[in-house]
A and B are shown apart, each in its own frame.
Chain A
Amino acid sequence: MSRKEWPLWEVFIRGQHGLNHRHVGSLHAPDAEMAIHHARDVYTRRKEGVSIWVVKSNDITASSPSEKGPLFDPAETKAYRHPTFFDIPDEVGHM
């Protein structure tokens, strides 16, 4: 009896309305083709999508939780990157 477990895959689904593929979860499958089949059964039983991507979990490189500060804190002081930072007088109209 072999004790080999099918590898883990991450599943991304594009919804009906042309948005990006979105991570929805993961599953086990022996290969990419079966992963797509499984993803259809596990994650799109109610027409949640029109396209599926699968990628081996091992092939994903993730930022580490300890890098959270250096990576994301700098954006905190840059409120001017948002349109609401700028007050435009009502007389100017919609902008």
Chain B
Amino acid sequence: MYAQMVKSEGMKSRDEMSPEELAFQDRIDRGEKIEPKEWMPEGYRKTLIRQIGQHAHSEIVGQLPEGNWITRAPTLERKAILLAKVQDEAGHGLYLYSAAETLGVSRDDLMEKLHSGAMKYSSIFNYPTLNWADMGAVGWLVDGAAIMNQVPLQRTSYGPYSRAMIRICKEESFHQRQGYAIMMKMAAGTPAQKEMAQDALNRFWYPSLMMFGPSDAESVHSAQSMAWKIKINTNDELRQKFVDQTVPQAHYLGLSIPDENLRWNEEKGGYDFSEPDWSEFFEVIKGNGPCNRERLGARVKAWDDGEWFREGLYAHAEKAAHRRMAATTAAE
């Protein structure tokens, strides 16, 4: 997902838990929200920092593939819409960094970890956006997959994270719909445009399925995160849900899912489908995807190039504060 393969700190059975840990787990089981200054196990705090941080990084890096097309949008209206969407992603990143900061980490530290490669962002943003149809596919599929994960996370146990997710979900549905609207327009256009839409779907289908991460049904990390309610569904559950929701939407467009094994399975009430190529996923995670270097390079450059501006504003703020102080002293 936007946070992939986040490791949880060890799973404990009830007999192994300290009284504090037991009380904490009971609160979560009762559906209570955990708030910043309250006691929490160190593992819960660390896992959340990793997860929320990675999620925030994904929002920020996720601006890049779409930013690529702002200057080349086909109409002024499309351009304004895409700008608004990319601006939302920046906002979503900021909500999430704030949530992570309540756990005692600074935003600059998180940024530094992103830039040094110590923290990751979602694998999906390491794929290129080659043409305008990709803006449709990204909104429809990538944001669609993100929503699958974000909607249940509104109920996560950590208050600030839950509140950030609620805000994000309110805005995210616009993203998916604008993407689908682009796909509708192209699928109903000239044969060449329809072909572009099909090509975009072909390229983004498996990377979108990878967003949910490899099967974690057997993973202890996943079990711990689920016990803490910072993960609500398994990766497989969410992937299945995504496929079941997306296939009819593709049919409506008159496009086909690039999977020969895709079949409705009456018994399970969902589609059977092919797994993505997980070796490709691990390569992308390791930094060898088509755009890893470009994306991280663009982030680091934006941060470094903005330094004089951040410092300038800081210097101005300090100067103004001194002037105010001097004026107050003079008046006394």
A86 contacts chain B at the CB level, 8 A cutoff: no
Which residue in B88, B163, B310, B321 is a CB contact (below 8 Å) of A6? B310
Q: Let me know if A30 and B107 touch, CB within 8 A.
A: no
Mask, A53-79, CB within 8 Å of B = 1, is 000000000101100000000000000
Determine how close the nearest CB of chain B comes to the CB of A34; give it in whole angstroms. 6
CB closest residue in chain B, given A38:
B94
Determine how close the nearest CB of chain B comes to the CB of A52; give it in whole angstroms. 15
Q: Let me know if B316 and A30 touch, CB within 8 A.
A: yes
Which residue in B37, B106, B313, B321 is a CB contact (below 8 Å) of A64? B37
Q: Let me know if B313 and A30 touch, CB within 8 A.
A: yes
A34 — which chain B residues lie within 8 A by C-beta?
A: 313, 317
Whether A28 touches B314, Cβ cut-off 8 Å, given contacts A45-B87, A45-B88, A64-B37, is no
Bin chain A's interface residue count: 20 to 34
Determine how close the nearest CB of chain A comes to the CB of B55; give it in whole angstroms. 15
Q: Let me know if A1 and B320 touch, CB within 8 A.
A: no
A6 — which chain B residues lie within 8 A by C-beta?
A: 310, 313-314
Determine how close the nearest CB of chain B comes to the CB of A43; give it in whole angstroms. 8
Mask, A20-33, CB within 8 Å of B = 1, is 00000111101100
Q: Let me know if B38 and A65 touch, CB within 8 A.
A: yes
Q: Let me know if A27 and B98 touch, CB within 8 A.
A: yes
B101 — which chain A residues lie within 8 A by C-beta?
A: 8, 26
Determine how close the nearest CB of chain A comes to the CB of B303; give it in whole angstroms. 11
Determine how close the nearest CB of chain A comes to the CB of B16; give it in whole angstroms. 25
CB closest residue in chain A, given B164:
A25
Determine how close the nearest CB of chain B comes to the CB of A64; give it in whole angstroms. 7
CB closest residue in chain A, given B101:
A8
Determine how close the nearest CB of chain B comes to the CB of A16; give it in whole angstroms. 16
Q: Let me know if A25 and B307 touch, CB within 8 A.
A: no
CB closest residue in chain B, given A11:
B98
B311 contacts chain A at the CB level, 8 A cutoff: yes
A5 contacts chain B at the CB level, 8 A cutoff: yes
A11 to B283 alpha-carbon distance, docked (Å): 41
A62 to B102 alpha-carbon distance, docked (Å): 14
A30 — which chain B residues lie within 8 A by C-beta?
A: 310, 313-314, 316-317
Q: Let me know if B91 and A42 touch, CB within 8 A.
A: yes
- Segment 16-40 of B: residues with Cβ below 8 Å from A: 35, 37-39
A contacts, CB < 8 Å to B:
1-6, 8, 25-28, 30-31, 34, 41-43, 45-46, 62, 64-65
B contacts, CB < 8 Å to A:
35, 37-39, 84, 87-88, 91, 94-95, 98, 101, 106-108, 163-164, 167, 171, 307, 310-311, 313-314, 316-317, 320-321
What are 29 A-B contacts defined by CB distance under 8 Å?
Answer: A1-B307, A2-B311, A3-B108, A4-B314, A5-B107, A6-B310, A8-B101, A25-B163, A25-B164, A25-B167, A26-B101, A28-B107, A30-B316, A30-B317, A31-B317, A31-B321, A34-B313, A34-B317, A41-B87, A41-B91, A42-B91, A42-B94, A45-B84, A45-B87, A45-B88, A62-B37, A64-B37, A65-B35, A65-B37
